[in-house]
Amino acid sequence: MKRLALFVALTTVTTGLFAAPLVVYSERSEQLIKPLLETYTAKTGVEIQVLTDDAAPLIARLKAEGNRTPADVLITVDAGNLWHAAESGMLAKVDSPILETRVPDYLQDPNNQWFALTVRARTIVYSTDRVTPAQLSTYEDLASPAWKGKLCLRTSKKVYNQSLVGSLINRLGDEGTRAVVDGWVNNLATEPQSSDTKALEAVIAGQCDVAVVNTYYFGRMQKANPDVPLAIFWPNQATSGVHINVSGAGITKHSKQPEAAQAFLEWMVSDEAQEIYANLDMEYPVVKDVAVDPVVAKWGTFKPDTRPVYKSGEYQRQAVMLMDAAQYR
């Protein structure tokens, strides 16, 4: 459901008194980003209006509105959605040495139309009652007979799994990826889950022993219950690294105030904003050496897959077709 929220300036900063409100279309929930936007308003006096919805409706709205759109910034999750927004012609090229320097190359669009703002790993979580880390190794190994009837996955309809499979296609090719996905489907303990949280709950309930989820879903659960009988495993550390996806943003093609929009995005990669934004949902900053949430810090470090994340978008259509062919629903 769409919600329009206006975050009014908390201070009378002269520079923002007469500025037009910045309009942000956001897939991220109002509750999540409100503290971040209120901080920006307090520092600059710039009011921010936010319209929240899922990525597809927001991109469709931008298309329908054309040059009449009030939107200045699009914030969404997963490189696949960001890639689609750029490919649809909804984002403008941004010339910003700050963004290009602060955000690692593999976490930004090659044409400078969007930049990642936070990172999340899509990794393996296992039951500490029934599995040991020595039994785990790679995403590919979850397709082996050893995991028959022990694997839980989220539905293939979610972009996170589409991007994960897209990254496998980029690395293993169609044939190699099809063998992995076929193995996953054969090893499912239940029908694909509707959410990562449901997959984790299935592991706790003993319906399966391992699941593939975004780290922050595990973080939320662990923060609510530090004794939850689950643990994170970082796969593919000797090979490609852990698959990551992102939240990110770009300036809309028809923004009426692109300079103000760029100033906002540049602030979003400041140390201050990175720490606030990443820690709001137990994600990882894109900027090096910014502090993470204490819960996240306890998980330790990992080697990420540093292939450009936009490739997940490029291979998304192939990924969907491959998963359909493998009857991964």
| Reported confidence tier of residue 122, pLDDT bands at 50, 70, 90 | very high
Residues 139 and 297: beta-carbon distance below 8 Å: no
Say whether 81 sits in a helix, a strand or coil.
helix
Q: Measured between alpha carbons, how far is 163 from 201 in angstroms, rounded to an integer?
A: 23
* Model pLDDT, residue 31: 84
Q: Dump pLDDT digits (tens) for 241-261.
A: 999 999 999 999 999 999 999
Q: Dump pLDDT digits (tens) for 123-171.
A: 999 999 999 999 999 999 999 999 999 999 999 999 999 999 999 999 9
Tally Cβ neighbours within 10 Å of residue 204. Answer: 16
* Model pLDDT, residue 14: 34
Q: For residue 310, give the nearest of 108, 158, 162, 112 by alpha carbon.
A: 108
* Model pLDDT, residue 10: 29
* Model pLDDT, residue 310: 96
H/E stretch holding 25 reads strand 22-26
CA 202 to chain CA centroid, nearest Å: 23
Answer yes or no: is pLDDT of 2 > 70. Answer: no
* Model pLDDT, residue 15: 43
Q: For CA atoms 31, 35, 40, 42, give the dihedral sign.
A: positive
| Reported confidence tier of residue 58, pLDDT bands at 50, 70, 90 | very high
- 79-87 vs 55-65: helix crossing angle, rounded to 10: 10
Say whether 37 sits in a helix, a strand or coil.
helix
* Model pLDDT, residue 7: 34
What does the block give as tokens for 295? 């819960």
Q: What is the mean pLDDT of the chain?
A: 94
Tally Cβ neighbours within 10 Å of residue 122. Answer: 24
pLDDT > 70 fraction of the chain, expressed in percent and rounded: 94
Tally Cβ neighbours within 10 Å of residue 125. Answer: 26
* Model pLDDT, residue 4: 45
Q: Measured between alpha carbons, how far is 193 from 201 in angstroms, rounded to an integer?
A: 10
Dihedral pair phi/psi, residue 129, rounded to 5°: -85, -25
Q: What is the pTM (predicted TM-score) of this model?
A: 0.93
What does the block give as tokens for 199? 């997959």
Q: For residue 114, give the nearest of 251, 259, 289 by alpha carbon.
A: 251
Secondary structure E strands in 82-196 = 115-127, 151-152
* Model pLDDT, residue 50: 97
Mean pLDDT along residues 102-124: 98
* Model pLDDT, residue 5: 43
Beta bridge partners of 210: 126, 151
| Reported confidence tier of residue 17, pLDDT bands at 50, 70, 90 | very low
**61, 87, 270, 220: CA torsion to nearest 10:** 70
Secondary structure E strands in 136-237 = 151-152, 210-214, 230-233
* Model pLDDT, residue 30: 85
* Model pLDDT, residue 81: 96
Q: Dump pLDDT digits (tens) for 198-215.
A: 999 999 999 999 999 999
Q: Dump pLDDT digits (tens) for 280-322.
A: 999 999 999 999 999 999 999 999 999 999 999 999 999 999 9
Q: Which amino acid belongs to residue 176?
A: G
Domains and CATH numbers, the chain: 3-119+246-291 (3.40.190.10), 120-243+302-325 (3.40.190.10)
| Reported confidence tier of residue 16, pLDDT bands at 50, 70, 90 | very low
| Reported confidence tier of residue 238, pLDDT bands at 50, 70, 90 | very high
What does the block give as tokens for 119? 């990172």
